[in-house]
Structure 1
Amino acid sequence: MTDQAVDTAGVRLSGRAAEESQFLGRTRELKELRADIERAGLDTLAGRKAPRARVLLIAGRPGSGRTALAEELVRQVADRYHDGVLRARLSEPDGTPVPVGRTARELLAAVDRSAPPGATEDDLTDALRAALADRRALLLLDDAADAEQVDALLPDNPDCLVVAVSGGPLTGISDVRPCTLGGLDTKSAMELLTRYTGSVRITVDPLAAEGLVEECQAQPAALLLAGGWLAARPEAAVADLARQLRAEGAEATPLSRAFRLACAALPAPAARILRLLSLAPAGLVDPHTASALAGCSVGAARTALDDFVARGLLRAVDSPLPRYEVPGCLHPLLEALAESQDRPGELQLARARMLERTVRLLQSCRAITETDSLEAREKLQGMPRSLRFPSPRAAEEWLRAGRPALLAQARLAVADGELDTLARRLMSQLVRTMIAHFGTQAAAADLYGVHRLVLDVAERRGLSREKAAALLNLGDLDARTGRTAEALARYRAALDAGREANDPYATGRAMESVGGAHQELGDHDRAADWFGRALAQRLARGEHADAARLYGRIAEAHTYTGRYGEALRNWRAAVAGYRRTGDVAAQARALSELARVQEYAGRPAESLQACHEAVELAYRAGDVRLQAALQLRLADTMEHLGDPVAAGVHRSAADRLLAEEPEEPEEPEEAPEGTGQPKHGADACEIRSTSAED
């Protein structure tokens, strides 16, 4: 086999070789793997139905072509699995295992199944098994660190097949069919070299070519680097490269020797760019990332990246935008090279430049959606052309394509701990940009993870204000997914942090959210008490619009407990507050609620009068839907008063209003009454201590 993709990240052939890319060799391994799919398992032989999906294991060292073999097997048998192929990588480029919950969530998204943000690992894996229970799917689990990772993701469905790639055995998983890889056969290895060098240089000295294959121990990754070295030196003989590889010393691995030669052949600026790619989040690179890391122009970075692909040092990713991936087998070598040749301060400066560039790109990505904002347009025009997007759609495509790298960059920045200011700016911009393009609901799972990272930094740095903001945001997401008890705990912690920071915004928001959580839990007396505390703060600060809203929330709580007198008093206060602020539509809605409670309290005449006033206000506000709702309420009141004719007139008026109202696009679901999230609030609580420039 030659690998179109070698190792966990893969190394694809480039240039002419990429156009002709064919999977070579590994005929025996493919035959055995396909036979293993058909072979009866231990449960079948014992007369039992297999309880889980069959697992085929492809084991080998990094650079052995294990992922390429897995991909070729998947390509050959994919048509048997009509529900498609799911792929997941179970280790980070540095070898850190990816949390099972994160992998399960990504796989659920691939089958169009959502999971609530903040769900536990067990909940996510259970949801994944349920999603695959009636499907015939093929899972490719690449770069598994251990058996526990694979076992947690196995479907309880014998109609599914799992192809796992790992460095060793998956002890503990029953009936695993292993296939251990060594080097390529000589013929395939020679053909791989031929694709880079052309046939002449191989055929004129076949013994030297065989010697080169032997020096590389027929390992695909080493052969790719050797082919790239020869392709860049058309005047060099194959024997020259074999001789240089021998001179590198037999104690090193073939891959490390080929890698050293490949790096030594690069010009100094390109070699520096290559070393710094070890800092790329999740091993994913685009020209902007490389440009920021190296401090060079975007054009120069793009040229260097394409040259690395031609030399077998990088892999181009199939994407509408130029994107690349550092092969997993080369990542530790790049990391060691950077640590040996670059000072720690230089590496930290490169990380800082990358974070700063990402923040500016996120600013540009968000600003292009704010077409009504003169300030946003001016800020966008003030950015360099290379940082601007031609359209909102192009910005969204960049955000979607770069999402894994952006989230990985946030995780790495927080784990680093030395660039917390930039990490905070990055996370603030990431939250705001994802909300602008995807909406809170669609991005909720990613936002939950980012807010947890913000909380980590805030706790580490003792930033009480940002801690409060992160806890409020996490509490809102918990509340929206029904974890009200967890949300209540976060809101109480946010209240403590807000008080510690002496932040009236955070404390007021937290008190209202605590009240909302109590109301959702059915404790309406406590809800009214907490809303009252929040109200007292708003009144003391002269925040009349917020005070009017809180009067309404107190009235809701009293209505639930049947205290209609208190409810009416608070709704009247809400109406007066909205009248004072000039919010006609809100005043109409409050009058509508006042009329509803008056009806509950057995005061139909007063309810009728309040409804008429609300209709007039709704007409002034131009709120047709509210007018229709109020006409229906008037109809109900007329029926209770024994006037069915008038009730019919109002129902007809409501139908006419709704028929005349043009359909509006569906909006994201609003937080239900009583939840912790204030219905008037922003999608996410701002991290208010960040720079206004962000």
Structure 2
Amino acid sequence: MTDQAVQPAGTQDPSRSPHGDAPHSAGAPQEAHDGGHFTGRESELAQMRADMEKAGLHTLSGRPSPHSRVLLVAGRPGSGRTALAEAFVREAAGHYGDGVLRARLTEPGDTPVPTERTARELLAALGPDPVPAGADEDELTEALRAELGRRRVLLLLDDVTLPEQVLDLLPDTRDCLVVAVASGPLTGVPDVRPCTLGGLGRDAAVSLLAAWAGAPHRTTVDPRSAELVAEACGHLPAALVLAGGWLAARPKLSVAEAAEQLGKARGSDPLERAFGLVAGSLTRTPARVLRMLALAPEGLVDAHTASSLANCPVTAARQILDEFLRLGLLRNSTLAQGCYAVPRCLDPLLRAQLAEHEGPEETVLARARMLERTVRRLRACHAVTEPEGSEARKRVAFLPRAVRFGSRREAREWLEARRPAILAAARLAVAEGGGRLDGLARRLISALARAFDAHRSPEEAAPELYRLHELVLDVAERAGLQRERAAALLNLGDLDARSGRHPRALTRYRAALDAAREEEESGRGGGGSRGARDDRGARDDRGGAHGGRGGQDPAAAARALESIGSTYEDMGDAERAADWYGRALAHHQTRDARAAAARLHGRLGAVHTGAGGYGEALRQWRAAAANFRRLGDAGAHARALAEIARVHELAGRPQETVRCCHQALQVLQDEGGGQAEDERLRAALLLRLADACDRTGDVREGRRHRQAADDLLNSHDLTVGLE
């Protein structure tokens, strides 16, 4: 397996950046690309190589640990700790034939990533088997450890906040290796080999500064001033990059003057001083764009995101982001072309700037603009999969060309590249205090669910859809929107049932039934209109979960009733299944929903057939056939008659089987459809008719029907089987 980058919280595939991230390429000096900032880290790299080979204390004592060894790179943000870890990973990857997995364990804002999310992303990266939707943390971590126990994998865990994060993911095998990046020690994690980073050595720090300053002679002609700049930066790679980028933007400024200005910069922290020097030199619009980057989900930003956040033209945002790249404030993202990533070491500084210069209302408004743009982009992502002339295509035709997609492949690539950031945007919108972004959150989730439905298989999309429906449920419960609450519970129940968690599915369906009944009662007095006006998402959201198992997605109460019956049927409890199907049938009959009632008669007939209650099964199938006949649905009418024939066959009444098969064949003949499904049903009926004729002693007639079935199957290249 080749190297894989896992993105549970925005982790990129970092290569060789002074921040520990992917290399700069647009306007950054070539020396930085070539790894000049690693000068002075050779001893740490050698230490890690030795620790990989060295026997641990448990092994020396004769009690080897059953867990993987952990190499810890400890250092403050901005020290180049991730860059060192990545350099080691590139060297060591050849020893681990199943590849490299990466996960970042802290979100922007220093929030630890939930372990279940990390485990789910790692499992998804490991293999083709889909991750069970709705699985809890214990299930996922156990499955992950079991999967890693069969492999030789190098696991890089970046931005570790707590030792428990590593312990939960630690493989139960010595064939894997874990490289953890953290600010301090990981107390309680067994067999840890720490490598602690401080600042770079003097020569290495000056070399990195010169690489980013744009002209090496600026430091060589005044080496003492260059050393003073490096000292003011604390020899930290991230601070040196910012100072170098600031110098490169001022070719006429001497290094001595730079040292003087850096010494006067506010802040006791070297990185804070270097950042303040760069940020303080920006004009009004770039300064606003910079602090608004703190709102970019997962720190991933492009020109359109920056434009919507700062409310400035896209062309201006693009130029500003390019300038930030040259200044060392951003890096190129390896996730998507045209995207940039905010170095995590700068995140707290950006948030402090945001809090100082922007009020809460403007922050919410900026997020709303960004979410609105993301919704439009997701709708275009879905629309490109629809036929020409469809309603979805017509709606997005009015969007700007930059928002639309030229092909299905382009749309899918965009969706996959930005998936972590969009999911983070949904979580942040739901978490916004006071529910001020609830409407946009529901619209975003609905649009994302539709995009997943269009570009991913149901199995592939199910785990993330499960979390999206949980977010919808959170919003609906907080806002008292019973219709949306019922829809979310139904979708979650469907995913639980599909994963075989039937008791949990029943709990969801019963809660949905209560919510639907409450909505119906309040709707009689006009109280249910708020959800209808305020959220186009919850109803659309049901499509994102691939609909209910009822097929026609009836009203929520009826769908809940039918889903409870279906779950009991899956559990093999025919009595309870028939009871709940009967309640759903009564619900449809009171509303004169004839098609749904006909279908429910069929489901009841199937349950009674499976339970051996042939009398009741015949009654239900006959009711279904009569309803389909009145509705003019000849195909469904014929299939119901075929089921009646099957029940007679199971009950040992071959003459009745012959009669019902002839009736069904006559209906198909009168319909004259000729579709593959009709022809397959016709062949099945002929085979059942042949068997029934054999049982009545009319062997010649049976042979004739069997030959007709064979001819039909051969002429249409069909296969058919009888239950």
TM-score normalized by the length of structure 2: 0.88
In the aligned structure 2, how far is the partner of 1:663 from the partner of 1:275?
64
1:88 is matched with 103
Task: Find 2:344's aligned residue among 310, 319, 328.
Answer: 328
Question: Does structure 2 retain, via aligned residues, the 8 Å contact 1:11–1:313?
Answer: no
1:628 is matched with 683
Task: Find 1:15's aligned residue among 27, 50, 53.
Answer: 27
Structure 2 residue 174 is matched with structure 1 residue 158? yes
Displacement of 1:523 in angstroms is 2.1
Structure 2 residue 444 is matched with structure 1 residue 426? yes
Question: Does structure 2 retain, via aligned residues, the 8 Å contact 1:86–1:107?
Answer: yes
1:453 is matched with 471
Task: Find 2:419's aligned residue among 390, 403, 423.
Answer: 403
Structure 2 residue 528 is matched with structure 1 residue 476? no
Q: 1:144 to 1:661 in 2, by over 3 A?
A: farther
Q: 1:532 to 1:232 in 2, by over 3 A?
A: same
Displacement of 1:631 in angstroms is 3.6
1:27 is matched with 42
Q: 1:204 to 1:633 in 2, by over 3 A?
A: farther
Structure 2 residue 61 is matched with structure 1 residue 51? no
1:390 is matched with 406
Q: Deviations over 1:163-186 (max 9, x none)?
A: 000111111111100011001122
Letter in 2 for 1:245: L
1:379 is matched with 395
1:557 is matched with 607
Q: 1:241 to 1:14 in 2, by over 3 A?
A: farther
Bigger shift: residues 320-329 or 2-11:
2-11
Paired residue secondary structure (2:345): coil
Structure 2 residue 354 is matched with structure 1 residue 342? no
Structure 2 residue 564 is matched with structure 1 residue 524? no
Question: Does structure 2 retain, via aligned residues, the 8 Å contact 1:11–1:312?
Answer: no
2:218 is matched with 201
Q: Map 1:491-640; keep pairs closer than 5 Å.
A: 491-502=509-520, 505-618=555-668, 620-621=672-673, 622=675, 623=677, 624-640=679-695
1:223 is matched with 240
Q: 1:18 to 1:441 in 2, by over 3 A?
A: farther
Question: Does structure 1 retain, via aligned residues, the 8 Å contact 2:693–2:701?
Answer: yes
Bigger shift: residues 138-147 or 108-117:
108-117
In the aligned structure 2, how far is the partner of 1:407 from the partner of 1:44?
43
Question: Does structure 2 retain, via aligned residues, the 8 Å contact 1:9–1:326?
Answer: no
2:255 is matched with 238
1:79 is matched with 94
Question: Does structure 2 retain, via aligned residues, the 8 Å contact 1:435–1:443?
Answer: yes
Question: Does structure 2 retain, via aligned residues, the 8 Å contact 1:368–1:380?
Answer: no
In the aligned structure 1, how far is the partner of 2:264 from the partner of 2:32?
33
In the aligned structure 2, how far is the partner of 1:654 from the partner of 1:9?
66
Task: Find 1:490's aligned residue among 490, 505, 508.
Answer: 508
Bigger shift: residues 290-299 or 174-183:
290-299
Paired residue secondary structure (1:165): strand
Bigger shift: residues 6-15 or 498-507:
6-15
In the aligned structure 1, how far is the partner of 2:584 from the partner of 2:389?
32
In the aligned structure 1, how far is the partner of 2:16 from the partner of 2:234?
18
Q: CA RMSD in A?
A: 2.2
Bigger shift: residues 451-460 or 512-521:
512-521
Paired residue secondary structure (1:86): strand
Q: Deviations over 1:68-107 (max 9, x none)?
A: 1000000011111110000001110111110111101111
Runs of 4+ off more than 6 Å: none
Q: 1:69 to 1:557 in 2, by over 3 A?
A: same
Task: Find 1:70's aligned residue among 82, 85, 94.
Answer: 85
In the aligned structure 2, how far is the partner of 1:572 from the partner of 1:528?
16
Q: 1:243 to 1:638 in 2, by over 3 A?
A: farther
Letter in 2 for 1:282: E
Question: Does structure 1 retain, via aligned residues, the 8 Å contact 2:336–2:414?
Answer: no
Q: 1:637 to 1:54 in 2, by over 3 A?
A: farther
In the aligned structure 2, how far is the partner of 1:296 from the partner of 1:659?
66
Q: 1:36 to 1:656 in 2, by over 3 A?
A: farther
In the aligned structure 1, how far is the partner of 2:577 from the partner of 2:351?
55
Displacement of 1:260 in angstroms is 0.9
Letter in 2 for 1:562: G
Letter in 2 for 1:352: A
Question: Does structure 2 retain, via aligned residues, the 8 Å contact 1:6–1:66?
Answer: no
Letter in 1 for 2:442: R
In the aligned structure 2, how far is the partner of 1:10 from the partner of 1:372?
40
Bigger shift: residues 302-311 or 33-42:
302-311
In the aligned structure 1, how far is the partner of 2:506 from the partner of 2:116?
24
State the identity %.
Answer: 56
Structure 2 residue 280 is matched with structure 1 residue 264? yes
1:684 is matched with none
Q: Deviations over 1:291-339 (max 9, x none)?
A: 2111223332222222211111011112453212111111111011011
Paired residue secondary structure (1:218): coil
In the aligned structure 1, how far is the partner of 2:398 from the partner of 2:54?
65
TM-score normalized by the length of structure 1: 0.91
Q: 1:327 to 1:650 in 2, by over 3 A?
A: farther
In the aligned structure 2, how far is the partner of 1:292 from the partner of 1:653?
67
Question: Does structure 1 retain, via aligned residues, the 8 Å contact 2:564–2:580?
Answer: yes
Structure 1: 5+ residue stretches without partners: 665-672, 674-694
Task: Find 1:212's aligned residue among 226, 229, 239.
Answer: 229
In the aligned structure 2, how far is the partner of 1:229 from the partner of 1:56?
35
Question: Does structure 2 retain, via aligned residues, the 8 Å contact 1:189–1:220?
Answer: yes
In the aligned structure 1, how far is the partner of 2:263 from the partner of 2:664?
90
Paired residue secondary structure (2:178): strand
Displacement of 1:49 in angstroms is 4.2
In the aligned structure 1, how far is the partner of 2:706 from the partner of 2:143?
45
Letter in 2 for 1:129: R
* Matched residue count: 663
